[in-house]
Amino acid sequence: MNWLKGMEHPWRFGIILFLLLALVATIAARIVHLHVFSHEFLAMQGDARAMRHIPIPAHRGVITDRNGEPLAVSTPVLTLWANPKELLTDKARWDELARALKLQPAELAQRIENNAAREFMYLERGLTPESGQTVLDLKISGVYSKEEFRRFYPAGEVAAHLVGFTDIDERGREGVELAFNEWLTGVPGKRQVIKDRRGDLIRDVQVKENAKPGKQLALSIDLRLQYLAHRELRKALLEFEAKAGSLVMVDVRTGEVLAMVNHPTYNPNNRRELNPQAMRNRAMIDVFEPGSTVKPFSIAAALATGRWTPESVVDTGNGHFRIGRYTIRDVSRGGLLNLTEVLKKSSNVAISKIALDIGAMPVYSAMQSVGFGADTGLSFPGEQIGQLPMHRKWGEAETATLAYGYGLSVTAVQLAHAYAVLANDGRNIPLSLLRKDRKIAEGEQVIDAKISRDVMGMLRAVVAEPGGGGARAQVPGYHVAGKSGTAKKLATSGGYTQDSYRSLFAGVGPVDNPRVAAVVVIDEPSKGGYYGGLVAAPVFGRVMAGALRMLNVHPDNLPTETQTAVVESAAGGRG
């Protein structure tokens, strides 16, 4: 009956049928339009919901020593992150996730709740790929991973002060890592992938941009010498119960830094309980009064004036010399001393009289020419330049104290550089922390070559001859030259301390064909003595002996019978 009633008004039925047909036609037309005329639009929209561009991490450049031994490398690690909003929907598995991450459940829950409004939070960074995959295999909603790199330092504490370290994002924070950060940093690439709505990878589409790794950096140091210096310096600090120490070795011919160590040191691979004091590269940051180690440059200044010759004699009297209200004293009474004996006995009285005779400016100029009070050009973060005072009017006290190493401040690196200049016939070659390809570098002539050789001969006598104060620096088979120094430390309240010293030794080996300049600084030895010739000189001798052998430097001080045997052996035993 209802159907018959509907037929009473056929026009209504026609309208409904028309509307239904129109709706079907509209839908069909839209489908045809989208699939035929708007295919690219649909594909783009689909890709936008599934296609992703993920970064391809680029590893940081490798740092090596001069022989290619790795000092800093980047190893692949896995970082786990989470979307807190997704984790909040699966609270039942939080305890399971906490156990896998080795966290307390309450700690993890607190972190998730604190970041509830965010879509990103780190769970754990720097995991080994195996450890990270174990967590991912749990298939917990909202937990994801990304590839990263972590810096590793094979030499550990031995090269820590020089190489430095990076932060967790591989940005340089100390040392060479910071100084050459831009050079070492790589450029990440880009990879196109398809992921589902959970973020799981469905298909790796293509690499859009290749990652560019950071550039390699070859340092000038020799890791063999670095280990040698590290061991001997630590041994000396333990023996004399010293507070700290530094040791620097420089290639005389090229200006390359062959070794640079400090104590105390730290392990850059584990910095959880790091003492900031242990991080200081004392060889480049700590400044100190060099004491008697600068007397050779005062002698060079005197020779350069022409008023003094190596045979000139100075009368030290009873070992006391009064200047105004100051009295300069020698440790031992010297009487009449020639210039070699002035250095052998380390006479403050004699060097003061020489300086007063020639005036302050020649002494100042000689010290300035070898790099005191100037930037070394190494561009090391935090490096100090020390102080070389320049007075408008030089008083007698200022002139005398400058000549025997007080009133100015230097770093261990500057002092090593100065001795390298003296050993290189007076040529000043800029220092370098990077390996140089050239075996011999050009330099500026700042001290007359003959004067340099004369002073080197005097320093050879300081080590080789009795009464020179450097006997403990002798190296079997080699002639070496050097000068000890003992400097009182400045007190925080002004003036000098009564019982705190720095023990110093600076020298070169071998004398006939100088190859290595080295400086040893021992800060506050408290047991067994404090004189530089007693504390620092033996360290120099042991390190120089090992270095010359490792570098295959031919001995220049063998007994006659031994030299003959060496020559015959080289000639195959033929007469």
CA dihedral over 338, 343, 344, 345, signed as positive or negative: positive
In the β-sheet with 496-509, what is the strand arrangement from edge to edge? 257-263, 244-251, 516-523, 496-509, 481-490
Q: To which residue do tokens 């039925």 refer?
A: 13
Q: Exposed, middle or buried, 287 (CB in 10 Å: 0-12/13-18/19+)?
A: middle
Is 292 annotated in the active site?
yes
Q: Exposed, middle or buried, 437 (CB in 10 Å: 0-12/13-18/19+)?
A: exposed
Phi-psi region of 136 (alpha: psi -120 to 50; beta: other; left: phi over 0): alpha
Whole-angstrom distance, CA of residue 366 vs CA of residue 391:
16
Tokens of residue 238, six digits? 């333990």
Tokens of residue 278, six digits? 């242990």
**In 10 A of CB 91, how many CB atoms?**
10
**Polymer length in residues for the chain:** 575
Q: To which residue do tokens 């590893």 refer?
A: 59
- E strands, 183-306, are 189-195, 201-209, 217-218, 244-251, 257-263
Give the helix/strand (H/E) hosting 320.
Answer: strand 320-323
**In 10 A of CB 101, how many CB atoms?**
17
Tokens of residue 381, six digits? 């973060």
* Alpha-carbon distance values, 298 to 309, 327, 365, 462 (Å): 13, 20, 10, 16
Whole-angstrom distance, CA of residue 154 vs CA of residue 176:
15
Q: 360-392 as b/e, with b when 16 or more CB fall inside 10 Å?
A: bebbbebbbbbbbbeebebebbebbbbebeeee
Give the helix/strand (H/E) hosting 227.
Answer: helix 223-240
For residues 506, 511, 514, 518, the Cα torsion angle rounded to the nearest 10 degrees is -20
Please pick, among 74, 292, 298, 503, the residue that the annotation labels catalytic: 292
The residues that are catalytic are: 292
